[in-house]
Amino acid sequence: MACIIGMVSQKGGAGKSTLARLFARERARDGFHVRIADLDTQQTTCAEWAADRAEAEIQAQAFGRLVTALREANRYDVYILDGRPQSSEQTVEIARAADLVVIPTGQTTDDLKPAVKLAHTLTDAGTPPERLAFALVRTTGSAAEREAVRADLGATDYAVLDGFLPVSAAYGIAHDRGKSVTETTHRSLNLKAEALAIVDRLGAVPRRTREAA
């Protein structure tokens, strides 16, 4: 059985494809056979990124329909669904199919409100709350401000992933070079991104060392 991880948000530019590439790279590094099913056929961000990537360990394929993408999931250890924005129906279906659903959010009320609302919508539609997690992306400001946001989100029924992505041009540059946000030229940025992709405590995503793979 593949472990299925869904990246969802109703907004475009929210960080879904960033998280898809991050999780794909980290799980591939762990020795897993990974594919990103790129469901945003308007953008095909991940499919193009994987094609540009020098390392060929991550496969990405664009799919117009989720059911078609899911048919091929069991050929992989980890199957990442990179969702389309503004598609309530597909978002609900991704959440139903996934072992872990990651919702990217910034730290402003404008970002947090729709993220929490989406989580509620998904649980109302049948996804267990423990399968949902928020990821803090495009953060600005102090650690104290970030912790306040974590505390607010912590008061919901959903997890908040460790780590965060501060706004940084280096992340965009990494993407342009076929790299993930853990592969920038700045170690501190890479470590923050790496922490986001550690999801052991959610129990949904298997990890093993390269040696054990």
Ligand X SMILES: Nc1ncnc2c1ncn2[C@@H]1O[C@H](COP(=O)(O)OP(=O)(O)O)[C@@H](O)[C@H]1O
CB atoms within 10 A of CB 96: 15
CB of 17 to Mg ion, least distance (A): 3
Q: Token pair for residue 138? A: 């495009």
Kindly state whether residue 45 participates in binding ligand X, applying the rule CB under 6 A. yes
- Name which of 30 and 102 has its Cβ closer to Mg ion: 102
Q: Which of 16, 25, 35, 53 binds Mg ion (CB under 5 A)?
A: 16
- Vertex 142: Cα angle to 140 and 145 (nearest 5): 90
Distance CA 202, CA 101 (A): 11
Kindly state whether residue 10 participates in binding ligand X, applying the rule CB under 6 A. no
Kindly state whether residue 10 participates in binding Mg ion, applying the rule CB under 5 A. no
Phi, psi (rounded to 5 degrees) for 23: -65, -40
Number of residues that bind Mg ion (CB under 5 A): 4
Span 33-52, contacts to Mg ion by CB under 5 A: 40, 45
Distance CA 38, CA 155 (A): 32
Kindly state whether residue 14 participates in binding ligand X, applying the rule CB under 6 A. yes
**Which residues are at the interface with ligand X (CB under 6 A)?**
9, 12-18, 45, 85, 137-138, 165-168, 171-172, 175
